[in-house]
Structure 1
Amino acid sequence: MTIRRYQLLSKICLLSSLSILSTSLYASEKTMQEIVDAVNGTPDMASREAGKKVKLRNHAKGFCTSGYFAPNPKLNDELAIPFFDQSKINVTARFSMGGTNPNASDKTAGRFMSLKIDGDKENLNFVTTNSPVFFAGNLDDFFTFQVKVKQGPEGKQWLIDNKPDAKAFFDFVKQLPPSASFANSPYFGVNSFLFTTKNNDIVPGRWIFEPADGVVNLSQVQLAELPDDFLKEELLTRIKHEPAVWNLFIKLAEKDDEINNPTVLWPEDRQRLLVGQVIINGERDNESTIQTCGNSIFNPVLLPKGITPSADPILNARTPAYIESFIRRL
């Protein structure tokens, strides 16, 4: 076994120990192995072993790049999160499409952004999508959704007829146009976290990334003129001339807002706090950690002091599911 393999396994052990604290929060009849099988479309031993051979994964089509995070110093007036006292923090970013097909077309509407913000002593990871609407509020519904969508139109229709949350998701995606760039797409953390205030109170909130250059979508005519692979080249070419920038906000919940169900949207008039800016400029793209970041885990419950996970079962299942998927790709 190589030294690198030992290092990877050591990281898995560390992540596993972190996730044990939250395993009681994702009660489900399904195991993590079954959940990952549903996502990968590997329902039996033969397909599972075939998937391991090709290192099957979700968000298979993607690429990594780099930049930094510039916290908003005024955030200290509201929240007690020492991590954000730093002036500039390295960012590793992975942009991707959904699904297990590494050759998926960029002409679909889904856009995904995962970030690692690595501070001096602590880290903060994000796993986000361009849809604020999630399709399942618990792991059993998540499992059912993944199984049914892989059955094609018949399975999708079953979800529409039997699962209101899945129907709301399909209705949203149906009217969502493809963005012209990863840089011109907003991204949402559909799960809730708990933030510590300056008064030592706890307030629930959700992450929102808004593109500084605004949202730019493609018409069907524009889309038809593009190749199936345009997003990676567009972003990497763009950041050679000017960085891609997002303003990061925390959208705060109010008393009656549902915290632990990612399918429930909060009203638009909820207070938002500006956390800072994500600046993607490719400045460290030649580093090995950036070039291999697609092989790592973006762990959304690896959090700095002052931020803790909510009891959302989807959120608390992410780390063990990512670990299971990661192990299969070793």
Structure 2
Amino acid sequence: MRTNRLSLLIKTCLLTGLSVLTSPVFAADISISELVDAVNGTPDTASREAGKKVKLRNHAKGFCTSGSFIPNPKLQQSLAIPFFEQAEIPVTARFSLGGTNPHSSDRGAGRFMSLKIDGDKESLNFVTTNSPVFFASNLEEFFTFQTKVKQGAEGKQWLMDNQPNARAFFDYIKTLPPSVSFANSRYFGVNSFLFTANNGDIMPGRWSFEPVDGVINLSQTQLEKLPTDFLKAELLTRIKQQPAAWDLYIQLALPGDEVNDPTVLWPDTRQRLLVGQVLIDGSRDNETATMQCDKGIFNPVLLPKGITPSADPILNARTPAYIDSFIRRL
């Protein structure tokens, strides 16, 4: 069994651009397998095996499409990241909803965008959500949150009463209306990364995507008239006419800002650097990378030279957790 699992790990690393030797070393009271079980709602052997049979995964409802990324040439005046010196870079995108239900209603507020930007020699992946507020500052909180939300209203109330970060997240979600399209949502990378400046300084920052067409939300009346599966058709129809576009920014921290806790928001007054623009137009939808998008993972710590992960425990748990989940689906 252990030999088979190692073989699967090696296969996964080949498919996802990871190295077996350089995968993050992870120390915590909660194991990676337990984290995946908490997300999947598979706390015992029977449910875990049943989950494997149906290839259970988070963000089960989603679809892939494609486009390109145009770096901002002025970024080179600030950051020493050769990856962004390319003129245009292919993009594979996956838009999704949260949760393990592949039949979730699109009428909820949650929107997620994952990207693979594959350059000539390096790649950059993004895993983003339309909420800048995250619900857990460490793995124990993350595990408890995922376990309790599977218990329904009682579990959610427990979180509201006992975990301030979970309460802040739920309070924010209450105020977040559903967008009319994936294309009209802002997206945030809640985790921090370390960026190398031209003078050699290390600058902590977070990713954010601003929709070029603006944030446009649905009223309750509009929402009630829509089917439960409108988001995919809407975006794929839209991009036949014109690309869906987002400006990509790095929000920079100042000394004293909390870098390793994704629940801590930085003030809107923090400087932002324009990195470039993502254009989703479906132009590469017939290519293998797009058609097989669902078969791999989006690895947020697959980074080009000049960008490294912060010490955020949530960030550094993502890749091994994604690998564990991926292996269960093979």
Q: What TM-score results when the alignment is normalised by the length of structure 1? A: 0.96
Offset of residue 9 of structure 1? 4.1
> How much is the aligned-residue C-alpha RMSD, in angstroms?
1.6
SS at match of 2:20: helix
Give % identity: 72
* Distance of 2:193 and 2:328 partners within structure 1: 29
Kindly indicate whether the alpha-carbon contact (under 8 Å) linking 1:19 and 1:319 is maintained by their aligned counterparts in 2: no
Kindly indicate whether the alpha-carbon contact (under 8 Å) linking 1:106 and 1:228 is maintained by their aligned counterparts in 2: yes
Instruction: Find out whether 1:271 has 2:271 as its counterpart.
Output: yes
| Amino acid paired to 2:265 | L
| Amino acid paired to 2:311 | A
* Distance of 2:25 and 2:160 partners within structure 1: 30
2:14 matched residue in structure 1: 11
Offset of residue 323 of structure 1? 0.1
SS at match of 2:59: coil
1:48 matched residue in structure 2: 48
* Distance of 1:65 and 1:14 partners within structure 2: 20
* Distance of 2:10 and 2:201 partners within structure 1: 39
Kindly indicate whether the alpha-carbon contact (under 8 Å) linking 2:16 and 2:296 is maintained by their aligned counterparts in 1: no
* Distance of 2:143 and 2:225 partners within structure 1: 37
2:109 matched residue in structure 1: 109
| Amino acid paired to 1:98 | G
Q: What TM-score results when the alignment is normalised by the length of structure 2? A: 0.96
Q: How many pairs are equivalent?
A: 324
Kindly indicate whether the alpha-carbon contact (under 8 Å) linking 1:12 and 1:323 is maintained by their aligned counterparts in 2: no
1:9-48 alignment runs, 5 A limit: 9=12, 11=14, 15=18, 17=20, 20=23, 22-24=24-26, 27-48=27-48
* Distance of 2:265 and 2:294 partners within structure 1: 30
Give ranges in structure 1 of 5+ residues lacking alignment.
Answer: none
1:57 matched residue in structure 2: 57
Distance 1:129 1:19, change over 3 A: farther
| Amino acid paired to 1:181 | S
Give ranges in structure 2 of 5+ residues lacking alignment.
Answer: none
| Amino acid paired to 2:18 | L
Kindly indicate whether the alpha-carbon contact (under 8 Å) linking 1:37 and 1:48 is maintained by their aligned counterparts in 2: yes
2:144 matched residue in structure 1: 144
SS at match of 1:57: coil
* Distance of 1:275 and 1:240 partners within structure 2: 25
Offset of residue 11 of structure 1? 1.7
Deviation readout 1:248-307 (Å, 9 max, x if unpaired): 000000001000000000001000000000000000101122011011110000000000
1:1-330 alignment runs, 5 A limit: 8-9=11-12, 11=14, 15=18, 17=20, 20=23, 22-24=24-26, 27-330=27-330
Deviation readout 1:89-129 (Å, 9 max, x if unpaired): 00000000000000000000000000000000000000000
* Distance of 2:94 and 2:237 partners within structure 1: 16
| Amino acid paired to 2:25 | T
| Amino acid paired to 2:69 | F
* Distance of 1:113 and 1:10 partners within structure 2: 22
* Distance of 1:308 and 1:10 partners within structure 2: 19
